[in-house]
């Protein structure tokens, strides 16, 4: 029985069915196979709290395109999937759920809380995975990993202990980003900077005289955005090259309210051009001040509790909220005459991306990774081209971070996450870092230990993702075969938070790069170019787009026009265009299948038949060039350029031209050889074009491919098309392009003259070159059809062609169409005669008005000018109509 496609393309009826079939047949699964070359991509693990958004949709579409492309090229393609435990994001979700039940996290206790967390992960952790499947993502789901599964936990512990033993991990007091609401340190990646209107408070500290008295005439003035931090000041600083303050060298100032003496230190960190050139130094609450403090051996004073209230170091302000303390301090300074002025000032303020609380830089005893040596291989790898960043401009961002590297705070004051494998002796406090709980203290012999309560930064575990997912620290066959991986696809916004950390972690633990290429994509913005956000209410749910248009249409939209590293705008009109393209492909395929005999064999493995006509060779040659160019583009990760070429080939060359060209041959059963050649070419070109399109639009291509032929069970495991020398028909390409140029010219003329397609006209092709005339003679059947010609005549001169014939000029020929064939002469003369009479009436009316002295004396000047302009236009039109009538009545 002949198989057919449904009359209309309905993605809802095919997508879930096809995906289930792919999964059931294990098409996504990759096993170690030494006879094949591996190609590996690791997924940027989405958070288990996550829901599919446009960024995920773009990121995973790009990965799926690459993995499907390589799979079809014959690689043993592994797309390693998994999810991230997302310490803070998940903990916040669970805490909120507990609050709704009236339960406090602390009352519940750590063990019970973790039980709830694992229950939460089990219930909600797979949501985004199911949504990725709806996108068509062909990950090896049999290998799905989780950053807190047993294997990943072992890897994290191994790395921590190894790096601590080598001196790369240490515990110390340094400035961290502190969230007063979540009560944890957070990474730079979790700090969002937003422009906020604030103030600059200009304050002066009195200088201390040589006799120890406080001067009432000599002051050091500076400006600050955080007056409350003065409680922790331990110095004021000036630039050593600033002559304004050379007399203050070696002196001290008095810290008001607190009455602490502060040294005036010289440090090149101070910008002489900013403000007064004086900076108050608070090492406990500013990362730059912390570094200044280290250079000058300054005391580090923390004035804040974990909830951002003032602690005992704040004296009488103890217990006050940071902003209430600010207000009280400013008021007291004003009363003391030490507040110079308050200036309105807008500046970037760091907030926690989860709870949007203003982050406090705060000195804390935390665990850190020493970065100065670890980062060196990561710098060298990119500089020497061992790792390639696409687009190359991302190197600037990369090196900007590596050149200004700071030690990495990896401890978090959370319960959900990898617990730090550090144990404190209950008797002497000795710290023991160990993979398991120590049995005896090496310092005092005590046998009781308490594990560090903190967990590790999520980025610490995800930095190991490319090799821990393949079985490291064990020497697995998968690790030997699939690692290093090939390409990382990710957004440019996490280049230093994740990408660089994976690179230096891989060099440290594996001795090589984790991937040879990083392909960065931009953000998906709304139609106005704005970042999608909840606050703007402009987010677009990819699942809604899939529901309305299908996953293929969404995928095509996200990649069309996409360039590495560039942001893109998303609007529904583009999705509609993608859906229209899907409909075009579907309808063209239905047309071809309807013309196939019931017992017809697929052309997929048949040799090129006899009887191919120039037009068949033209489309094969076009396909051949498209295959070559698209493959090259995809090898260079130019996915947007590649899909545009596939799109243009299918829509323009194949559907709009070739199918129309061969229709007369399909309907003519007298020439069986020509009919079979046309049908073979239609099938061959379509099947290969579907393969080129498959990585971008997997569902529709699979449905058509499997319906049209039975020799191969799935397009996704079929061979990628390759360039064939025997399909290079340059001469035939040139011939058909000549006919296309003529047809376009004829259609343009007919459109300009408003000639209906149903009106046929005789067409003369005139050229002094026999080879050009032969082109039109050979293509006569489809040329006449496409040119709406009643007949076509090829000749070397204009003999027999009417004087009024309309012409279309080509490079080596001119096409003429008799005017009378295009226009009904008597009807046109009648129409122009009526128009001439109407214009005569308008001219007479206008002439009468402009010769009327009464009108000229009373009408406004602009009204007269308007009437004169009308008269001029009437006259011009009248002259043109009259001239045309003379020509037609000759």
pLDDT tier at 599, thresholds 50, 70, 90: low
pLDDT tens by residue, 99-126: 999 998 888 999 999 999 999 999 888 8
Q: Tell me how far apart the alpha carbons of residues 866 and 843 are, in angstroms, rounded to a whole number.
A: 14
Strands 568-569 and 214-224: unpaired
Write out the two tokens for 773. 């005339």
CATH 3.90.740.10, the chain: domain bounds: 191-354
Q: Is the pLDDT of residue 833 over 50?
A: yes
Write out the two tokens for 601. 């064999």
CA atoms within 13 A on the CB side of 402: 24
Residue 251 confidence (pLDDT): 94
What does the angle CA 133 – CA 134 – CA 136 come to, to the nearest 5 degrees? Answer: 65
pTM of the model: 0.85
pLDDT tens by residue, 423-442: 999 999 999 999 999 999 99
pLDDT tens by residue, 781-819: 889 999 999 999 999 998 888 888 888 888 889 999 988
DSSP labels, 483-501: -S-SEEEEEGGGIIIIIHH
**Arithmetic mean of pLDDT, 352-367:** 87
Least confident among 218-222, 353-357, 415-419, 594-598: 353-357
The C-alpha R_g of the chain, in whole angstroms, comes to 38
Contact of 745 with 738, CB cutoff 8 Å = no
**Arithmetic mean of pLDDT, 816-827:** 83
| Burial environment of residue 281 by CB neighbours within 10 A (0 to 12, 13 to 18, 19 or more) | buried
- Give the CATH architecture of domain 191-354: Alpha-Beta Complex (3.90)
DSSP labels, 244-273: GGGGGTT-EEEETTTTEEEEEEE-TTS-TT
CATH number of 575-728: 1.10.730.10
Q: Tell me how far apart the alpha carbons of residues 364 and 412 are, in angstroms, rounded to a whole number.
A: 11
Contact of 803 with 769, CB cutoff 8 Å = no
Q: Which CATH number fits domain 826-888: 1.10.3470, 1.10.287, 3.30.1360, 1.10.110?
A: 1.10.287
pLDDT tens by residue, 437-494: 999 999 999 999 999 999 999 999 999 999 999 999 999 999 999 999 999 999 888 7
Residue 889 confidence (pLDDT): 75
Contact of 772 with 802, CB cutoff 8 Å = no
Determine if residue 534 is labeled as part of a ligand binding site. Answer: yes
pLDDT tens by residue, 135-188: 999 999 999 999 999 999 999 999 999 999 999 999 998 888 999 988 888 877
CATH 1.10.287, the chain: domain bounds: 826-888
Residue 1 confidence (pLDDT): 47
Residue 572 confidence (pLDDT): 86
Q: Tell me how far apart the alpha carbons of residues 75 and 635 are, in angstroms, rounded to a whole number.
A: 13
Mean pLDDT of the chain: 92
Residue 667 confidence (pLDDT): 85
**Arithmetic mean of pLDDT, 29-41:** 97
pLDDT tier at 263, thresholds 50, 70, 90: very high
Question: Is the peptide bond between 484 and the residue preceding it cis, with omega within 30 degrees of 0?
Answer: yes
| Burial environment of residue 842 by CB neighbours within 10 A (0 to 12, 13 to 18, 19 or more) | middle
**Arithmetic mean of pLDDT, 367-374:** 95
Strands 814-817 and 761-766: antiparallel
Percentage of residues in the chain with pLDDT exceeding 90?
Answer: 71
**Arithmetic mean of pLDDT, 337-359:** 88
Nearest to 514 by CA among 464, 477, 472, 475: 464
């Amino acid at each position: 029985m002949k198989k057919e496609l449904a009359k209309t393309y309905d993605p809802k009826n095919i997508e879930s069915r096809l995906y289930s079939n792919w999964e059931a047949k294990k098409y996504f699964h990759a096993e170690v196979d030494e006879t094949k070359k591996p190609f590996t991509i690791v997924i940027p693990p989405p958070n288990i709290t996550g829901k599919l958004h446009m960024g995920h949709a773009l990121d995973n579409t790009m990965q799926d395109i690459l993995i499907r492309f390589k799979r079809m090229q014959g690689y043993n393609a592994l797309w390693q999937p998994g999810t991230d435990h997302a310490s803070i994001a998940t903990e916040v979700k669970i805490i909120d759920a507990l609050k709704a039940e009236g339960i406090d996290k602390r009352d519940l206790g750590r063990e019970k809380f973790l039980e709830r967390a694992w229950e939460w992960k089990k219930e909600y952790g797979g949501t985004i995975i199911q949504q990725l499947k709806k996108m068509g993502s062909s990950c090896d789901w049999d290998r799905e990993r989780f950053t807190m599964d047993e294997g990943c936990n072992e890897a994290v512990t191994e790395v921590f202990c190894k790096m601590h033993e080598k001196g790369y991990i240490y515990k110390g007091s340094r400035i961290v980003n502190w969230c007063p609401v979540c009560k944890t340190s957070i990474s730079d990646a979790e700090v969002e900077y937003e422009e906020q209107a604030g103030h600059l408070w200009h304050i002066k500290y009195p200088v201390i005289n040589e006799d120890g008295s406080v001067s009432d005439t000599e002051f050091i003035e500076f400006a600050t955005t955080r007056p409350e931090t003065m409680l922790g000041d331990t110095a004021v600083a000036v630039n050593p090259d600033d002559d304004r303050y050379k007399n203050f060298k070696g002196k001290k100032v008095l810290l008001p309210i607190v009455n602490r003496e502060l040294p005036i230190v010289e440090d090149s960190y101070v910008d002489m051009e900013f403000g007064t050139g004086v900076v108050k130094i608070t090492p406990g609450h500013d990362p730059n001040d912390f570094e200044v403090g280290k250079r000058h051996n300054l005391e580090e004073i923390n004035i804040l509790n974990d909830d951002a209230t003032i602690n005992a170091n704040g004296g009488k302000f103890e217990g006050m909220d940071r902003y209430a303390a600010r207000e009280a301090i400013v008021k007291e300074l004003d009363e003391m005459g030490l507040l110079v002025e308050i200036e309105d000032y807008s500046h970037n303020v760091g907030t926690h991306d989860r709870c949007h609380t203003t982050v406090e830089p705060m000195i804390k005893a935390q665990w850190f990774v020493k970065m100065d040596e670890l980062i060196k291989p990561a710098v060298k790898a990119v500089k020497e081209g061992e790792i390639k960043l696409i687009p190359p401009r991302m190197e600037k961002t990369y090196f900007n971070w590596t050149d200004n590297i700071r030690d990495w705070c990896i401890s978090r004051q959370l319960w959900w996450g990898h617990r730090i494998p550090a144990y404190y002796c209950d008797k002497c406090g000795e710290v023991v870092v160990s993979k398991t709980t120590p049995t005896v203290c090496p310092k005092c012999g005590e046998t009781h230990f308490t594990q560090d309560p903190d967990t590790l930064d999520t980025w610490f575990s995800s930095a190991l993702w490319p090799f821990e997912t393949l079985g490291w620290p064990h020497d697995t066959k998968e690790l030997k075969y699939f690692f290093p991986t090939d390409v990382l696809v990710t957004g440019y916004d996490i280049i230093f938070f994740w990408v660089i950390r994976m690179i230096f972690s891989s060099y440290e633990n594996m001795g090589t790069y984790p991937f040879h290429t990083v392909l960065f994509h931009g953000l998906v913005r709304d139609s106005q170019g704005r970042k999608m956000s909840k606050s703007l209410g402009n987010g677009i749910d990819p699942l809604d787009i899939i529901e309305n248009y299908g996953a293929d249409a969404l995928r095509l939209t996200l990649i069309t026009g996409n360039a590495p590293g560039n942001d893109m705008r998303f609007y529904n009109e583009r999705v509609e265009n993608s859906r229209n393209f899907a409909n075009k492909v579907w309808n063209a395929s239905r047309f071809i299948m309807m013309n196939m005999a019931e017992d017809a064999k697929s052309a997929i493995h048949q040799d090129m038949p006899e009887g191919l006509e120039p037009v068949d060779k033209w489309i094969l040659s076009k396909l051949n060039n498209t295959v070559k160019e698209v493959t090259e583009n995809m090898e260079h990760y130019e996915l947007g350029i590649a899909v545009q070429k596939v799109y243009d080939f299918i829509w323009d060359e194949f559907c709009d031209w070739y199918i129309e060209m061969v229709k007369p041959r399909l309907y003519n059963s007298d020439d069986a050889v020509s009919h079979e050649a046309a049908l073979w070419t239609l099938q061959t070109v379509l099947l290969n074009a579907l393969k080129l399109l498959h990585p971008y639009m997997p569902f529709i291509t699979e449905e058509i491919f499997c319906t049209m032929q039975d020799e191969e069970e799935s397009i996704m495991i079929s061979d990628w098309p390759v360039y064939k020398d025997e399909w290079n028909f340059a001469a035939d390409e040139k011939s058909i392009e000549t006919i296309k140029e003529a047809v376009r010219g004829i259609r343009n003329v007919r459109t300009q003259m408003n000639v209906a397609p149903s009106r046929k006209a005789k067409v003369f092709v005139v050229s002094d070159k026999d080879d050009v005339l032969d082109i039109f003679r050979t293509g006569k059947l489809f040329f006449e059809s496409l040119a709406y010609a009643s007949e076509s005549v090829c000749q070397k001169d204009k003999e027999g062609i009417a004087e009024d014939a309309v012409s279309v000029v080509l490079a080596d020929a001119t096409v003429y169409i008799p005017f009378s064939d295009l226009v009904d002469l008597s009807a046109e003369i009648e129409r122009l005669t009526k128009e001439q009479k109407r214009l005569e009436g308008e001219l007479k009316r206008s002439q009468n008005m402009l010769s009327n002295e009464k009108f000229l004396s009373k009408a406004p000047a602009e009204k007269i000018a308007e009437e004169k302009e009308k008269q001029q236009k009437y006259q011009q039109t009248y002259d043109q109509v009259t001239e045309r009538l003379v020509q037609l009545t000759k």
